[in-house]
Amino acid sequence: MNESPGAVGAGRIVDTAVVREAGPVRIVDIREKTVPIQADMSNAFINFSKMTVSVLALVTDEVRDGEPVIGYGFNSNGRYAQGGLLRERIIPRVLAAEPAGLIGAHGDLDPELIWRAAMTDEKPGGHGDRGVAMGILDMAAWDLAAKLAGVPLNRLLSERARDPRTPATPAERVWVYAAGGYYYPGRGIDALQAEMRGYLDLGYRTVKMKIGGAPLAEDLRRIEAVLDVLPDGCDLAVDANGRFDLEQALAYADALRAYPLRWYEEAGDPLDFEELRALAERYPGPLATGENLMSFQEARNLVRYGGLRPDRDILQMDPALSYGATEFRRTVTMLFDSGWNPDRCVPHGGHQFNLSLASAFHLHGCESYPGIFEPFGGFADGYPIEDGHVRLPDAPGIGLEQKASLGPVLRDVLA
Ligand SMILES: O=C([O-])CC(=O)C(=O)O
Ligand SMILES: [Mg+2]
């Protein structure tokens, strides 16, 4: 058993696993556990005191170094755990699938085939929480596929899931920015400034803060206070979490254009493309949105109808919340076909799965949540942020075992 920090030993499973004699690897068990990631902080729309995450383990009969090979997945923060959907529909379909039907051209378990089995008898539309549940399963399927292939996920995705227009090898480092600046009870501007200084000390060059949870004048004071602590070469993005109607979105836009913001995020409802279009006509700076689009089809509607500008705006679709990497590869192709370069994408989510996708598909970057949404947020231990960029570990899979604080949570799914 690997005793390195963060190793996810699962001896108990070895005892019960059907150890394979010959033939392709089989999935022998799928476990889901709902865990809290509560924090008494708020964006303009929700408070996170009751936030939860589903952690899922895909257990195989492949044993290496005395341990079964297991793929792990979880959802990004902001959408709740999906135990119901997973346990009632998605997991039983994968377990009921003919094992040989899940083996792809590479002779191993294929995430695309697992995805299709899980979506059996699901009608089009109605994405929402189903996209989240599928994202959790798909993350585990890709973690598993990369572990079985013995390569880091960014390399596997680059080899097996890359659009031909994407560079042939994964990016070695990815631009990341620190997302924080939430509203906390009784918290003043000094604490906000201290939080942002902390991100700069960690090596970040771009920080993000919440707006829309306070009156405009107060938000402008908060923004100016953060800009005051940012040295040259650093910048600030702001995020309204879909709080504003058109009138409010435009009032903020008119005030925000006085500041050199990196972007103005999710002003209005994620599906109100008419509001977004009007905002894009009025606000000259970069806009960002997409984290609450839960499917390829919704992302396509954003590109078709949202009035966004491919030369400056940022797309934040989060693969972990929207049917996974298997679906995101289709989104990448759709973007190329629509005259967008995927390097306008900066996925929401702040974890290693999306970081691997950003590297494999040469996206502009990836979100990061230093110190919040732990232990799910954040990257591998020993990979510091350097001048706003991070490198990826060279271990098989997503690299979740390279983050010691995740170990107990992953082990617990199997308990
Ligand atoms: O507060 C949230 O739900 C997270 C969010 O918008 C972001 O990371 O951009
Ligand atoms: Mg956001």
Round the CA-based radius of gyration of the chain to a whole number and report it. Answer: 21
Atom 9 (ligand 1) nearest CA = 348
pLDDT tens-digit series, residues 77-89: 999 999 999 999 9
Whether the CB of 291 sits within 6 Å of ligand 1 = yes
> What are the residues whose beta carbon lies below 5 Å from ligand 2 (ion)?
239
Q: Is the CB of 78 under 6 A from ligand 1?
A: yes
Residues carrying an active site annotation: 210, 348
What are the phi and psi torsion angles at 387 (to 5°)? 50, 45
Q: How far is the CA of 382 from the centre of ligand 1 (A)?
A: 25
What are the tens digits of pLDDT across the range 181-193? 999 999 999 999 9
Residue 386 labelled as part of a binding site:
no
Whether the pLDDT of residue 179 is over 60: the answer is yes
Nearest ligand (C-alpha, residue 290): 2
The residue ranking higher by pLDDT, 11 or 358, is 358
Average pLDDT score over residue span 114-137:
98
Asked if residue 235 has its Cβ within 6 Å of ligand 1, the reply is no
Q: Which two tokens stand for residue 251?
A: 């009032």
- Work out the pLDDT band at 20, boundaries 50, 70, 90: low
User: Of the ranges 16-30, 159-173, 252-266, 376-390, which one carries the lowest mean pLDDT score?
Assistant: 16-30
Q: Is 239 in the pocket of ligand 1 (CB under 6 A)?
A: yes
CA nearest to 180, candidates 161, 201, 154, 199: 199
Nearest ligand, CA of residue 369? 1
Choose among 235, 175, 165, 157: nearest CA to 363: 175
Average pLDDT, the chain: 94
Residue 83 CA to ligand 2 centre (angstroms): 24
Residue owning the nearest CA to atom 7 of ligand 1? 348
What are the pLDDT digits (tens) for 251-306?
Answer: 999 999 999 999 999 999 999 999 999 999 999 999 999 999 999 999 999 999 99
Residue 11's pLDDT is what? 34
pLDDT value, residue 22: 72
Domains assigned to the chain = 11-150 (3.30.390.10), 159-406 (3.20.20.120)
43 is in an annotated binding site: yes
179 CB near ligand 1 (under 6 Å): yes
The pLDDT-based confidence of 4 (bands split at 50, 70, 90) is: very low
Which is more confidently placed, 37 or 341? 341
pTM, to two decimals: 0.94
At 19 the pLDDT is 57
Q: Ligand 1 atom 2: the closest Cα is on which residue?
A: 78
Q: At what angle do helices 324-337 and 296-305 cross, to 10 degrees?
A: 20
How many other β-carbons are positioned within 10 Å of the β-carbon of residue 356? 31
Q: Is 348 in the pocket of ligand 1 (CB under 6 A)?
A: yes
**CA 387 – CA 175 distance, rounded (Å):** 9
Please check if 341 is assigned to a binding site. Answer: no
For position 39, what pLDDT does the model report? Answer: 86
Distance CA 146, CA 235 (A): 35
Residue 26's contacts (CB-CB under 8 Å, 6 or more residues apart) are 18, 20, 60, 61, 99
Cβ–Cβ under 8 Å, residues 364 and 149: no
